A and B are shown apart, each in its own frame.
Chain A
Amino acid sequence: MQPILPRVFGGRATGLTLAAMPVSVVLIAVALLSAACGGKSEEAPPPAAVTNPVDPATAGAITGVVKFEGKAPAAQPITMDSDSYCEKQPRNTIESVVVGEGSGLQNVFVYVKDGLGNRVFPVPSTSVVLDQKGCRYAPHVLGVQVGQTLEIASSDDTLHNVHAVPQQNREFNMAHQLAGIKHTHVFSTKEVMVPFKCDVHKWMNAFVGVLDHPFYAVTAGNGRFELKGLPPGTYTVEAWHEKLGTQTQTVTIGEKQTSDVAFTFKS
């Protein structure tokens, strides 16, 4: 037997009159077909697009590096034996503290926490993709804007549930029973960070930073990041790490200026 339908959120039951039934049946059928190919989970209409208030002629940038001080923890292998499909995947290690080249700390979410005033930024029309691949979330840390579409996909030929447990936004839990299935979700409120987990596979987790502006980045393997296109001003920049906590720094940039900043986390 084939699965009936993935779960769709945000739906609302409506009363149907007999006269409206044929149209309703068609609409329901279309909705069901649409849901069978994926689902959409939307919390609120995205804010109206406005002209980017940043003048490209004066925009600057903040670049920097996040480093890990001390002895880097040994990479812990993930035991995936609770699912024979996952067990066959390439051996992976826990991603909570990943130290790379030059003691750079990977998977740190760096963003402008304060200093943008009441500017309103346009919502990107492109989606951000969170995939389930090899029984892991990829990427492990990512950012998305309020109103932007987060596309949650599965490349795995096993069952996953995508369970987001935010504090400010609405919690959701989606069934992903097929490889190739996709759901989309739109967050309505900024929140750093929204944890994602899979209750089927305990080791699977990801963190999504939801912001009302585009000035965020996730550190690469060498710990480096770049926040481009910032208007001149003084900003509070925060670096968030899932295990090591947060750090903030105040950074001032002038017209067309690039300021460099460094964060250091200790074990």
Chain B
Amino acid sequence: MALRLYTRFVALSTAVLIFAGGLVTSTGSGLSVPDWPNTYGWNMFTFPLEKMVGGIRFEHSHRLIASTVGFLILVLAIWLWRAEPRQWVRRLGYLALAAVITQGILGGITVLWYLPDPISIAHASLAQIVFCLTTAIALFTSRGWARTGALAPDDSMLRKLTVATTAWIYVQILIGATMRHTGAGSAIPDFPLAFGHVIPPHWDAKIAIHFAHRVGALIATALILATTGHVFYHHRRRGELLRSSMLLLVLLSAQITLGALTVLTWDGRIHYIINSLHVVTGASVLVTSLVLALRAHRSSFAAVRQSDAAVGRVPPESPAIGGGPARLVPPTPHAPPAGPNRTGARA
């Protein structure tokens, strides 16, 4: 129970971190603290609060939140290592830890090297991966995941749609990160048209990146509508799919609105908040789509487990408590006895 709550807390804290990172970029504060890992010569954790002025508020807060999230993920990885019976879930914890450490190093490098675009874009892109990992861990350790088990629908079209949608949303976020870090956010100043036309009448690299983000948004919208429409039509009785789909539509609406407002309020005083909300909502669209995709693949997890059970590597799955690719237990009588928490039927 505590682990389930904790995984959700970690996933939520990752979203907060992405919002804080969005604030840094939106306010152009990335280099307001020239040194790293120190802050103006102080140890990061002893930097006086009264010195947090101007852009330092955003950059230093981002560093503190990042350190906290890094620590939370470290605890998560240790907790999973100690308490989680499924090896692949434990490995996800290690992967999340490695990703967040890499993310911190990228953050430091990008400051010390004056925000080179490739490093900054990699930093933004890896943040989404960290959020995906923490969300996936929260999903895999949830009661709902265990409860669904073999009852999950086996729909190949849904699987393909959700994978395509999730992959495209990630590509769209990469284009968005490129747009932000190359200063192309204001390259097209009007919305929904581009310089008063459907297609920009003139082009340069920044306009092309900006326009690609808009086209990418249309493709992402079409894919999300196709996916959620499929769920509503074919799986309206599957509560876990229906809830994810409805949330995805709500987030998509919010994201399109925020994207439009980001352009229309470019010179406004609250622009940086809207822009940062656009970033974190985009990340939320991604992880919601990921959750839908994983739930669409739930039967595959269960099938793997049933297959393993058939050859005696794991206990047979009980639909009441779910199934999945639990840590394989060798069928030989010489196998060392596994601990009570390592052979649970939950997957």
Contacts and interface: CB of A to CB of B under 8 A. Distances in A.
Contact of B41 (A4, A86, A165, A173): A4
Contacts, number: 69
Given A7-B34, A161-B32, A199-B28, A175 B54 contact: no
A251 interface: no
Contacts of A199: 28-32, 55
Interface in B35-91: 35, 38, 40-43, 46, 51, 53-57
A175 B35 contact: yes
Contacts of B42: 1, 3-4
B33 interface: yes
B107 to A, nearest CB: 15
Interface string A141-183: 0000000000000000011010101000001011101000000
Main secondary structure of the interface of A (DSSP, over half): loop
Contacts of B29: 199-200
Interface residues of A, number: 27
B195 interface: no
Nearest to B41: A3
- Say which size band chain B's interface belongs to: 20 to 34
A51 interface: no
A198 B56 CA distance: 11
Contacts of B51: 159, 177
B28 A159 contact: no
A85 B51 CA distance: 10
A159 B56 contact: yes
Contacts of A159: 40, 51, 53-54, 56
A69 interface: no
Interface in A1-52: 1-7
A135 B249 CA distance: 46
A101 interface: no
B203 interface: no
Interface of B: 27-35, 38, 40-43, 46, 51, 53-57, 114
